[in-house]
Structure 1
Amino acid sequence: MSTLTAVDNLVARPPTTVVTTTAEFKQNKEEWEGLLSDLNERLEEATNEGKPKHIALHRKRGQLPARERIQLLLDEDSPFLELCALAGYGQEDMTVGGSIVAGIGLVSGVLCIVSATVPTLFGGAMNEASVLKSGRIHQIAMENRLPTITLTQSAGANLQQQFRVFHRGGAGFRNQALQSKAQIPSCCVVFGSSTAGGAYQPGMSDYVIMVRKQAQVYLGGPPLVQMATGEITDSESLGGADMHSRVSGVSDQLANDEYDAIRKAREWMANLNWDTKGQLPLRHLTGQYEEPHYDPEELLGIVSANIRLPFDATEVILRLVDGSRFTTFKPNYGGNLVCGWGFIQGIPVGIIANNNVIFTQEANKATQFIQLCNIKNTPLIYLQNITGFMVGKQYEEEGIIKAGSRFINAVSNSEVPAITIVMGASYGAGNYAMSGRAYNPRFLFSWPNSRCSVMGSEQLAGVLDIVMRQGAKRAGVKIDEELAEQRKQLFQLSVEAESDVYYTSARLLDDGIIDPRNTRTVLGYCLNAIYSNKVQGGNIYGVSRM
């Protein structure tokens, strides 16, 4: 924390209405303890790199586990924002994390994407979750203009999932070509055998480092070569690091061991002379910003673990922004939507947060606010806790569709970067309007209490039950009430399972599940990444029904 700036002194700090001694506050904290314990257990599971005997054998060969490779690569004091840690969680034939560890960290002072295949899990073979996760990581690198370092040791595609991996997996090579064309540097460090599709990872990278007597890169190993051509050869002469460094030229640097390879990767990054296109504010670079005046620990008492219970989004914002200073926009209009400006780690942001369902006023307010943020080149943060837009005859007559369409139009055409945090419900068109995954926010994270679907499970099951009954009435068919109730309950259970945060995170509908108390830190790190590229707004208007 540093001294106040002139700007800080001009910005008001709204008073909090939170009372930490109430029974409700204490109950919320107790419920969150269970949710966070569950989250930590699952994240711990995601750090598993295989059976102990496989890891022991790996080490015996002079090789390091994936997470140790990353730790050695990163700067000593660098945080590491791991992304999509629970990809594939709970899915049959998948590995938690997709056999890839990936995230954002500092290497030789440069903020970059670092990813590593996990060779002690099925030889680092790529499954369906791996393909989806790799695609998302590449998107983050491209949008934010982050250099990439990939630590590779992979058996290529998991052949048992060939249909699910082969077709979409091929896009990974195209992505690398597009990254190189966009002049976003890529380095691949090959630590062990990387075959077939795994061979194209170094082949498509800008710069390649291979470890002597460990790295082997070939399209087909000795058995395949013998079957295809009759040629008999050994792995080292066919595709060893020494051959690729001296004969084929696939390797740009030959490392003596894994430590030397990591040192050479850090040296490569240091020599990039990398300049970001965005300019972070001076107050961020100098550390001249306040920590929140109101304790972020209080978020666990403010927000209920039960998403059906409302909470004041302003109280959340006051525990995220610098000094708990927040300038509200139209505070007396469209009160179910909170809009305003503040700073996070000295970086200016516009914040849009839900207090409840969206009416016409809320939609109009958001549309204007998004326009203002584009004019000011200010990144947007969406804090989702939304059941959707209001329905009913009165609201249709008022033009809720027109207002909602303008809102979604603005979100879709907004050119300033957006970060979305799902901190409760995320249902229906409310998910769209609040920059859900389909609207391409730069980053999207969820709290472990959150749920996302077309609507709540009870409402959705009820709607389908009404439709079924209306259809049966028109057809003159008598309903078997017992069977109808069973079907309704089974469907409701299915919707509840599919809207669960771990279900959606496993399918990469977010970039990770985070502890609410870490939200400010995550936002600050993401904003740093965003400013690696130019931050500029633009015209948000398409054709809109007025």
Structure 2
Amino acid sequence: MKAFPSFSFLKHHQINRCILQFQTNREFLAVSRQHLLSKRSVNTTSNFKTSNITCQQSDADVTSRGSKSQVFPRLQNVTIDRGQDVFQKNRKQTERLVSEYKHLLNESLAGGGSRSVERHTKFHRKLLARERVKQVLDDDSSFFELLQIAGMGMEYGSIPQAGILSGIGRVHGIECLVLANDATVKGGSIFPISVKKQLRLQEIALQNRLPCIYLVDSGGAFLPLQSEIFPDKEQGGRVFYNIANMASQNIPQISVVLGHCTAGGAYMPTMSNEVVIVKRIGAIFLGGPPLVKAALGEIVSAEELGGAALHSSMSGCSDHYADTEDEAFSITREIVATLNLAPCENASVSPPPYYDPSELLGLIPEENQQVMDPYKIIARITDDSRFQEFKKRYGAGLVTGFSHINSHLVGIIASNGELSDTAATKGCHFVQLCCERDIPLVFLQNTSSLTSLGQTPPSGEYSLYMSSKIKSHAQMLASVSCATVPKITIITGNAFGQDHYLMGGRAVGPNFVFCWPNAKVGAMDVGEILQAMKQDVNMDEEAEKKMRGKLEKQSSAVYAASRLWNDGIILPEDTRQVISRCLAITQRNITKQQKPLLRM
């Protein structure tokens, strides 16, 4: 008795499918082998050959497969006609959004304004936050600034950059996270958004194992909002918890005291691995001179109570005494040189995209953003516009595949319409492949609204359809949540509903999340929210108009970035450079994959 059918019983289309599957498996095994060999620094020539089914290619492409970035076929049929009216209309609309963003960005970067800057530099004789960061870093051009418009347009007023200049830069070639209080903003006071920003920055440092350099010059908590700053788990005290835990995991914590560290703020330097304090301007105490006078009736100066000389020679709270800020930053650089960390490798030369990235401005439609072609985006951010697609004929609502971005091998997951059950299953499979091969994931998120979805199944089949979709979505969500490789998310259009989580939203712990100026973030599309609200609330035309304006503002890219729902807004043409910088930062030891429970 035969347990399995003989080969002769297979139909012709089944035979062809078997051959195709065999070829596809062989191709991806070759890619995996080449990636592993390259990680071991073994020079080898790949015999990888791409099937004609996944992507067209010329004879020249086949013969030029020797280099790392040319191992995949170049994308075809992704040109954009700049002469079309729709291109010009889209470009004009995107340029308007970019202009509005740049205006807000300049306002945020200006800090507290000219009067505050003059008082800080001339009266207090201190350097500005940006000047301080520049002196710490090797090269100002290496500074990858994060969360630039955080705090703008808050309910309690605009707090430019949330009062903290922050980013990632290199010190002796070592990537470090730098946080500098901007004392020109509200006197350096800490607001709720300031705490939220600092916690996000520490999360970035922890995920990517980056040494932290704190340039402290703060006026303490803004007391009228103390209930939103002080008591809860994810508020001010969490900053100190993070410092202790990162230090315990050998992630260096370095503090430079350039102002007053009062009350809870005194713990930041005293919990750091090494501390530098500057004569005259730096001070650390639990209660400042006003409190001493109120409690004891004694008049004492800040320098006498907790100045540089006291803490460097008597209390031991400081490890290094500096006469000037310049000397303090020189000492800080010397401290980083003793961390015994390997400097970053310089990026290898890689071919730019074959298609012009500036054309992305004309790709973004004013309405129905979900119709953007993901292949055209991929072609303008990858090396030589080359891309090896995975499961092209299955789950068309998701585009998955391998490519290189500035010579970094990445797995790309891009929205392409409805995230159906088959698309989610495909995404789950691809995420697990990348985790097995230690390949970082890049999400290009542009989810569909409910009204843009295709025709739903008949009522009799709807429950079965939704059950299948829920199960496959849960599988992909579990895989993305537990993925141990670096995850970088770019919101190119919509970030609506639960699909936002599946596509690398903030909740699933990506290393970095950025958005384009046209991005929209919300539970649903504004029109869908209004439709749902009108079922429960009687709303006249004027009330509906007012509510629509409010919802559109709250779903905008600027609103999301100012409240730290992402790490900042980037220009579409800069997407490749931003992803490349993130990939360089996330180079770290990747732990063994934690496999979730998947209900089959």
Normalized against structure 1, the TM-score is what? Answer: 0.91
1:318-333 pair list within 5 angstroms: 318-333=379-394
**TM-fit CA distance, 1:7:** 3.6
Q: How far apart in 2 are the matches of 1:53 and 1:4?
A: 59
Q: How far apart in 2 are the matches of 1:100 and 1:286?
A: 29
Unmatched tracts of structure 1, length 5 or more: 469-479
Alignment correspondent of 1:342: 403
Count of residue pairs brought into register by the alignment = 523
Alignment correspondent of 1:267: 334
**Post-superposition CA distance 1:33-63 (Å, at most 9, x none):** 1111111111111112223233223222331
Alignment correspondent of 1:18: 80
Alignment correspondent of 1:476: none
Q: How far apart in 1 are the matches of 2:75 and 2:382?
A: 12
1:456-467 pair list within 5 angstroms: 456-466=525-535
Q: How far apart in 2 are the matches of 1:41 and 1:150?
A: 28
Alignment correspondent of 1:246: 313
Would the aligned equivalents of 1:113 and 1:146 in 2 still touch at CA under 8 Å? yes
Q: Decide which of 107, 122, 128 is 1:45's aligned counterpart.
A: 107
Q: How far apart in 1 are the matches of 2:287 and 2:405?
A: 50
**TM-fit CA distance, 1:266:** 1.0
Q: How far apart in 1 are the matches of 2:582 and 2:340?
A: 22
1:152-191 pair list within 5 angstroms: 152-167=216-231, 168-191=235-258
One-letter amino acid matched to 1:538: Q
1:79-94 pair list within 5 angstroms: 79-91=142-154, 92-94=156-158
Q: How far apart in 1 are the matches of 2:540 and 2:99?
A: 38
**TM-fit CA distance, 1:487:** 4.6
One-letter amino acid matched to 1:190: V
Query: Residue 273 of structure 1 aligns to a residue in which SS?
Result: coil
Q: Decide which of 380, 386, 398 is 2:447's aligned counterpart.
A: 386
Would the aligned equivalents of 1:180 and 1:186 in 2 still touch at CA under 8 Å? yes
2:596 is aligned with 1:541: yes
Q: Decide which of 524, 529, 533 is 2:580's aligned counterpart.
A: 524
Normalized against structure 2, the TM-score is what? Answer: 0.83
**TM-fit CA distance, 1:76:** 2.2
**TM-fit CA distance, 1:69:** 0.8
2:469 is aligned with 1:407: no
Would the aligned equivalents of 1:415 and 1:540 in 2 still touch at CA under 8 Å? no
Q: Which moved more, 1:123-132 or 1:533-542?
A: 533-542
Identity level (%): 36
Q: Which structure has the higher relative contact order (CA within 8 Å, separation 6+)?
A: 1
Q: Decide which of 367, 374, 379 is 2:435's aligned counterpart.
A: 374
**TM-fit CA distance, 1:306:** 3.6
2:162 is aligned with 1:98: yes
One-letter amino acid matched to 1:374: C
One-letter amino acid matched to 2:102: N
Instruction: Choose 1 or 2 for highest CA Rg.
Output: 2
Would the aligned equivalents of 2:488 and 2:510 in 1 still touch at CA under 8 Å? yes
Query: Residue 97 of structure 1 aligns to a residue in which SS?
Result: helix
Q: How far apart in 2 are the matches of 1:413 and 1:50?
A: 42
Distance 1:204 1:467, change over 3 A: same
2:507 is aligned with 1:429: no
Distance 1:463 1:152, change over 3 A: same
Q: How far apart in 2 are the matches of 1:7 and 1:308?
A: 34
Query: Residue 381 of structure 1 aligns to a residue in which SS?
Result: strand
Unmatched tracts of structure 2, length 5 or more: 1-63
One-letter amino acid matched to 1:121: V
Query: Residue 409 of structure 2 aligns to a residue in which SS?
Result: strand
Alignment correspondent of 2:296: 229
**TM-fit CA distance, 1:213:** 1.6
**Post-superposition CA distance 1:90-129 (Å, at most 9, x none):** 0124412110011111112110101100112222111011
Would the aligned equivalents of 2:70 and 2:386 in 1 still touch at CA under 8 Å? no
**TM-fit CA distance, 1:407:** 1.7
Would the aligned equivalents of 2:111 and 2:160 in 1 still touch at CA under 8 Å? no
Q: Decide which of 130, 138, 152 is 1:67's aligned counterpart.
A: 130
Would the aligned equivalents of 1:445 and 1:511 in 2 still touch at CA under 8 Å? yes
Would the aligned equivalents of 1:337 and 1:354 in 2 still touch at CA under 8 Å? yes
Q: How far apart in 2 are the matches of 1:487 and 1:303?
A: 30
One-letter amino acid matched to 1:541: P
Would the aligned equivalents of 1:94 and 1:128 in 2 still touch at CA under 8 Å? no
Query: Residue 323 of structure 1 aligns to a residue in which SS?
Result: helix
Q: How far apart in 1 are the matches of 2:523 and 2:515?
A: 17
Distance 1:84 1:23, change over 3 A: same
**Post-superposition CA distance 1:399-425 (Å, at most 9, x none):** 222222222122222222211111111
Q: What RMSD in Å do the two structures reach over aligned CA positions?
A: 2.1
Alignment correspondent of 2:416: 355
Query: Residue 149 of structure 1 aligns to a residue in which SS?
Result: strand
Alignment correspondent of 1:472: none
